[in-house]
Amino acid sequence: MTSTPAATGAATVTAANEAAEGARLHGPVTDWFDEHARDLPWRRPEAGAWGVMVSEFMLQQTPVSRVLPVYEQWLARWPRPADLAAEPPGEAVRAWGRLGYPRRALRLHAAASAIQERHGGDVPRDHAQLLALPGVGEYTAAAVASFAYGQRHAVLDTNVRRVFARAVSGQQYPPNATTAAERKLARALLPQDEETAAKWAAATMELGALVCTARGPECVRCPISAQCAWRLAGSPAHDGPPRRGQTYAGTDRQVRGKLLAVLREAVGSVPQAVLDTVWDEPVQRARALDGLVSDGLVEPLPGGMYRLPLGRSTS
């Protein structure tokens, strides 16, 4: 269907309005970031692109406070992608500890192996090359390109999406899943020069993490509260689909975590009988163990023995 001149004109006006809105927000948000940004190890120059990539894998669905000790131990042991790639993927799972979603450890190991094989051990600068790495999606590729290499990309995590939903769209929460409209808005709001765009990406993320939080936004501390569309509209309550809550107790995720904890502590393989002691319900326990095997997180051995994987990890 061909767009009419009127529709094209309206879209142009909307894009211009969004760009103008971004220009009004850039200075206050980046100035706030200069003053209030946390001193996190992956933001320091010595972290390098590999440190940024490791942090981005670890921070997915996991708070900073839990990531910090594991991140520091990880980089001390594997300061370069080649160091991680040289070890079995099971060692990555072991070092992941209780960060949760341990498939991220396998994917990070696979990414490190690909970086070693395809890029001589250096995390690539090119966004397309980053996106082609195992386990790296659009968000992670944009984040590494922006935070490690200072490039101009729209970096859309949950915190950034929430800031844009409130400040620009006038909604309390963004949609449950990232939409094309959100991506378009994020691109329209990007500063034009790379250095400012990279700082904007980090600043909006930090603003969402520290001030414009999901449960208790502190509007009195917000540098753009006077321009926030949601606040100016009277902070209307969310009227979209229910927010998805995360449960853990009694789920297969909990059982998987208990099984992996035993395997992480073991020096070698573990008999089925030992794994059977971690959860009373046999059907759920078997389902969780089968899932771990299917995901490549556990290797079954003859005689009812299990261990962390020694073979090559997969994406």
DSSP state for residue 42 in the 8-state scheme:
G
- Residues with Cβ within 8 Å of 303's Cβ and at least 6 positions away in sequence, in order, are 271
**C-beta of residue 145 within 8 angstroms of C-beta of residue 132:** no
Q: Which helix (H) or strand (E) holds 305?
A: strand 305-307
3-state class (DSSP) for residue 165: helix
Q: Tell me the CA distances in angstroms from 154 to 79, 88, 182, 189, one per residue in order.
A: 28, 34, 10, 9
Q: Please pick, among 21, 56, 91, 182, the residue that the annotation labels catalytic.
A: 56
56 carries an active-site annotation: yes
**C-beta of residue 240 within 8 angstroms of C-beta of residue 170:** no
**C-beta of residue 270 within 8 angstroms of C-beta of residue 307:** yes
> How far is residue 83's CA from residue 98's CA, in Å, rounded to a whole number?
22
> How far is residue 281's CA from residue 279's CA, in Å, rounded to a whole number?
6
Q: Which residues are catalytic?
A: 56
